[in-house]
Amino acid sequence: MEFGYYPGCALHGSSNDYEKSIRACMKVLNAGLKELDDWICCGATAAHSLNHKLSTALPARNLAIAERDGVGSVLAPCPMCSMELIKAGRALRESEQMRRQMSEIVELKVEGKTDVINLIQVFERIGIETIKSAVKNPLADLKPACYYGCLLTRPAKVVQFDDCERPRSMELILEALGAAPVSWNYATECCGAGLTMANEATVLELANKILKNAAGSGANCIVVACPMCHVNLDMKQSAVERRYDTAHGLPIYYLSDVVGLALGLNKKELAIDKHFVCARAQVKR
């Protein structure tokens, strides 16, 4: 099984630990990743507020590359990226004029045929039973709070993935690994990722609420599938603790991290040793 792969700016930059984790898991599961040749930024963080045509053309260029190279399904691990690609694909499919205009702008024929999927969907396509049969280290001690954030399941009509208010797809994967996901109230609340640089106080407040609710619900870690959510809850956790005079100490794992651990990979192979909370706990021990 092979998937197209659009890393986006984050996974080739500040969140390269996420990419390493994903690639390690895919290798064990015999699933290939074919990175799009000469991909470009999808413009997720700013283009939509500056120029509507640009905000469609940037992701359309990546979809055109996938179509040119015969890639039917593309994994975009960052929910911000996947949403932009999905929105552009939808706009292209709905308008012949848009297809002509974007094909001219990006200098490649593009029709919006590519299926854009997230990491949870990749694991679903590989097969939960297939993953379960490959488990070497059941995660019996893991009580994760599955955190979807605000973009994996919303806007519901655009992404068309799981229930936008009460998703369960991540929990089903973790249960197959032997973990016991907790029931909590902040699974789809926003962590404020878009305000990380502009309004840190709001980000810390939102992150504190998420961490506090997870711990209060019995979780001993949080599992995410978004690089921005990971940055806010992992890297900024020490700032949250200082601001609110508390000690959460909750490890924040990517979904691929916990899948990889169950499959027998170690923390270094999955780049978990690069995470701030896990590294801090290791130093204390």
Q: What is the CATH number of the domain that holds 64?
A: 1.20.1050.140
CA atoms of 118 and 193, how far apart (whole Å)? 18
Among 73, 84, 64, residue whose Cα is nearest residue 34: 73
Mean pLDDT of 37-45: 93
Report which residue type is found at 62: N
pLDDT at 257 exceeding the cut of 50: yes
* Residue ending a domain, choose from 51, 84, 117: 117
Structure tokens at 217: 């619900």
Residue 8 lies in a domain: yes
- Asked if residue 95 and residue 166 are part of one domain, the reply reads no
Same domain, 159 and 275: yes
- Residue 100 CA to residue 110 CA, distance in Å, equals 8
- Indicate the burial class of 111 (C-beta count within 10 angstroms; 0-12, 13-18, 19 or more): middle
45: pLDDT strictly greater than 50: yes
Q: Is the Cβ–Cβ distance between 77 and 11 less than 8 Å? A: yes
The reply to whether 9 falls in a domain is: yes
Average pLDDT of span 189-205: 89
pLDDT in tens, 131-177: 999 999 999 999 999 999 999 999 999 999 999 999 999 999 999 99
Please tell me whether residues 139 and 266 are part of one structural domain. yes
The whole-number pLDDT of residue 113 equals 97
User: So what's the pLDDT on residue 283?
Assistant: 38
State pLDDT tens for residues 62-76.
Answer: 999 999 999 999 999
Q: Which residue, chain included where needed, has tokens 């009460």?
A: 166
Average pLDDT of the chain to the nearest whole number: 95
Please give the span between the terminal C-alpha atoms of the chain, in angstroms, as a whole number.
41
Q: Give dist(CA 74, CA 118) in Å, integer.
A: 8
Domain count, the chain: 2
- Residue 284, pLDDT score: 42
Residues 98 and 160 in one domain: no
Q: How far is CA 235 from the centre of its chain?
A: 16
pLDDT band at 108 (very low <50, low <70, confident <90, very high): very high
Assess whether 79 and 154 both reside in one domain: no
Domain boundary among 98, 117, 136: 117
How many alpha carbons fall within 13 Å on the CB side of residue 66? 27
* pLDDT exceeds 90 at position 3: yes
Listed residues 88, 117, 146: the one ending a domain: 117
Residues 74 and 41 in one domain: yes
Taking residues 232-239, report their average pLDDT. Answer: 96
Q: How far is CA 267 from CA 7, 20, 53, 273, in A?
A: 21, 11, 43, 6
CA diameter of the chain:
61
Q: Is residue 122 part of a domain?
A: no
Q: Is the pLDDT of residue 84 over 70?
A: yes
Segment 21-42 shows an average pLDDT of 97
Torsional class of 34: left (φ above 0), alpha (ψ -120 to 50), beta (otherwise): beta
75 and 138: one domain? no
Helix/strand number for the chain, H first, E second = 15, 7
Same domain, 184 and 150: yes
| Residues 21, 47 within the same domain | yes
In terms of domains, do 64 and 204 share one? no
152 assigned to some structural domain: yes
Does residue 171 sit within a domain? yes
Print the domain residue range for 198: 128-284
Q: Which pLDDT band, with edges at 50, 70 and 90, does 281 fall under?
A: low
Shared domain for 77 and 134, answered yes or no, is no
Residue 66 has a CB neighbour count (10 Å cut-off) of: 26
Residue 189 lies in a domain: yes
Q: Smallest Cα–Cα separation from 174: which of 183, 165, 161?
A: 183
109 with 134, same domain?
no
Domain of 168: which CATH number? 3.40.50.11810
pLDDT of res. 208 = 98
- Res. 280: pLDDT tops 90: no
pTM attached to this predicted model: 0.95
- 279 pLDDT band, cuts 50/70/90, is low
Residue 123 located in a structural domain = no
Q: Is residue 39 domain-resident?
A: yes
